[in-house]
A and B are shown apart, each in its own frame.
Chain A
Amino acid sequence: MSITDPAASAGEAELVEHSPGDDLGEARPLRVDVWRRFRRNKLAMFGLFLIVALVLIAIFAPLIAPFDYDERSSGSSRLPPDLFGKHRFGTDVAGYDLFSRLVYGARVSLKIGFAATAIAMTIGLTVGAIAGYFGGVLETLIMRITDIFLAIPYIVLAIAVATVFGRSENSIIFVLGFTGWLGICRIVRASFLSLKELEYVEAAHALGYSRWRIMFRHILPNALQPIIVYGTIAIGTVILSEAALSFLGVGPQFPTPAWGLMVAEGSGQITSAPHLLFFPGAAIFLTVLAFVFVGDGLRDALDPKLK
Chain B
Amino acid sequence: MISYTIRRILLIIPTVFFALSFLFFLLFALPGDITNLIVGGADRNVPQEVIDRAAERYGLNDPLIEQFGAYWQRTVQWDLGDSYLSGRSVNELLGEKAVNSLRLGIWAILIEIVIGISVGMYSALKRYSIGDKITTVVTAGASAIPVFVLGFLLQYAFAVYPNKHDWPEWMRLRTSRMGPNEWDFFFIPGSVEQLRYLILPAFALASVSTALTARMTRGSMLEVMRADYMRTARAKGLRERQIVLRHGLRNAMLPVITLIGIDLGTVIGVAVLTETTFSWPGLGSEIATSVDSRDLPVVLGLTLAVVLVYAFVNLLVDLSYAFFDPRIRLGGGESK
Q: Which of A244, A271, A278, A288 contacts B269 (CB 8 A)?
A: A244
Q: Which of A151, A248, A293 contacts B310 (CB 8 A)?
A: A151
Q: Judging by beta carbons under 8 Å apart, are A160 and B291 in contact?
A: yes
Q: Tell me whether B188 is interfacial, beta carbon within 8 Å.
A: no
Q: Judging by beta carbons under 8 Å apart, are A270 and B156 in contact?
A: yes
Q: Judging by beta carbons under 8 Å apart, are B148 and A160 in contact?
A: no
Per-residue 0/1 for B272-311: is the Cβ within 8 Å of any A Cβ (1 yes, 0 no)?
Answer: 1100110000000001100110100001000100110011
Q: Judging by beta carbons under 8 Å apart, are A263 and B148 in contact?
A: yes
Q: Judging by beta carbons under 8 Å apart, are A161 and B26 in contact?
A: yes
Q: Judging by beta carbons under 8 Å apart, are A153 and B265 in contact?
A: yes
Chain B contacts with A in 166-182, Cβ cutoff 8 A: none
Q: Tell me whether A148 is interfacial, beta carbon within 8 Å.
A: yes
Q: Which of B163, B292, B307 contacts A250 (CB 8 A)?
A: B292
Q: Tell me whether A292 is interfacial, beta carbon within 8 Å.
A: yes
Q: Judging by beta carbons under 8 Å apart, are B336 and A193 in contact?
A: yes
Q: Judging by beta carbons under 8 Å apart, are B269 and A155 in contact?
A: yes
Q: Judging by beta carbons under 8 Å apart, are B292 and A153 in contact?
A: no
Decide yes or no: A243 and B140 within 8 Å by CB, A152-B307, A155-B269, A156-B287 being known contacts. no
What residue of chain B has the Cβ atom nearest to residue A155's Cβ?
B269
Distance in Å: Cβ of A297 to nearest Cβ of chain B: 11
Stretch at the interface among B15-23, B78-86, B197-205: B15-23
Q: Tell me whether A274 is interfacial, beta carbon within 8 Å.
A: yes
Q: Judging by beta carbons under 8 Å apart, are B146 and A285 in contact?
A: yes
Q: Which of A43, A163, A164, A285 contacts B149 (CB 8 A)?
A: A285
Report the separation of the CA atoms of residues A263 and B30 in the bound assembly, to the nearest whole angstrom: 27
Q: Judging by beta carbons under 8 Å apart, are A271 and B310 in contact?
A: no
Give the dominant DSSP class at B's interface. Answer: helix
Report the separation of the CA atoms of residues A244 and B148 in the bound assembly, to the nearest whole angstrom: 8
Report the separation of the CA atoms of residues A239 and B288 in the bound assembly, to the nearest whole angstrom: 19
Q: Tell me whether B2 is interfacial, beta carbon within 8 Å.
A: no
Q: Tell me whether A236 is interfacial, beta carbon within 8 Å.
A: yes
By the criterion of a CB under 8 Å from any partner CB, how many residues of chain A are at the interface?
44
Q: Tell me whether B101 is interfacial, beta carbon within 8 Å.
A: no
Q: Which of A147, A149, A243, A289 contacts B141 (CB 8 A)?
A: A289
Chain A contacts with B in 58-111, Cβ cutoff 8 A: none
What residue of chain B has the Cβ atom nearest to residue A156's Cβ?
B303
Give the chain A neighbours of B137 by CB distance below 8 A: 43
Q: Tell me whether A226 is interfacial, beta carbon within 8 Å.
A: no
Q: Which of A163, A190, A271 contacts B294 (CB 8 A)?
A: A163
Report the separation of the CA atoms of residues A159 and B292 in the bound assembly, to the nearest whole angstrom: 8
Per-residue 0/1 for A259-288: is the Cβ within 8 Å of any B Cβ (1 yes, 0 no)?
Answer: 010010001001100100110010011001
Chain B contacts with A in 134-166, Cβ cutoff 8 A: 137, 140-141, 143-149, 152-153, 155-156, 160, 163-164
Chain A contacts with B in 107-156, Cβ cutoff 8 A: 144, 147-156
Q: Judging by beta carbons under 8 Å apart, are B144 and A289 in contact?
A: yes
Q: Judging by beta carbons under 8 Å apart, are A149 and B19 in contact?
A: yes
What residue of chain A has the Cβ atom nearest to residue B267's Cβ?
A153
Decide yes or no: A147 and B144 within 8 Å by CB, A161-B26, A250-B292 being known contacts. no
Q: Which of B15, B163, B294 has the most CB of A within 10 A?
A: B15
Q: Tell me whether B55 is interfacial, beta carbon within 8 Å.
A: no
Decide yes or no: A240 and B146 within 8 Å by CB, A163-B292, A270-B160, A274-B156 being known contacts. yes
What residue of chain B has the Cβ atom nearest to residue A281's Cβ?
B149
What residue of chain B has the Cβ atom nearest to residue A157's Cβ?
B23
Distance in Å: Cβ of A180 to nearest Cβ of chain B: 13
Q: Judging by beta carbons under 8 Å apart, are B144 and A148 in contact?
A: no
Give the chain A neighbours of B155 by CB distance below 8 A: 270
Q: Judging by beta carbons under 8 Å apart, are A277 and B152 in contact?
A: yes
10 additional contacts (CB under 8 A) given A150-B265, A153-B310, A156-B299: A151-B307, A152-B303, A152-B307, A154-B265, A164-B31, A240-B144, A240-B146, A270-B155, A289-B144, A292-B140
List 10 contacting pairs A-B, 8 Å CB cutoff, sorted by A: A151-B307, A155-B268, A156-B306, A159-B287, A159-B291, A243-B146, A247-B148, A248-B288, A274-B156, A285-B141
Query: Contact residues of B with A, CB < 8 Å?
Result: 14-16, 18-19, 22-23, 26-27, 29-31, 137, 140-141, 143-149, 152-153, 155-156, 160, 163-164, 265-266, 268-269, 272-273, 276-277, 287-288, 291-292, 294, 299, 303, 306-307, 310-311, 336
Please name the 8 residue pairs, one residue from A and one from B, whose CB atoms are nearest each other, closest first.
A281-B149, A155-B269, A289-B144, A288-B144, A153-B268, A151-B19, A148-B18, A159-B291
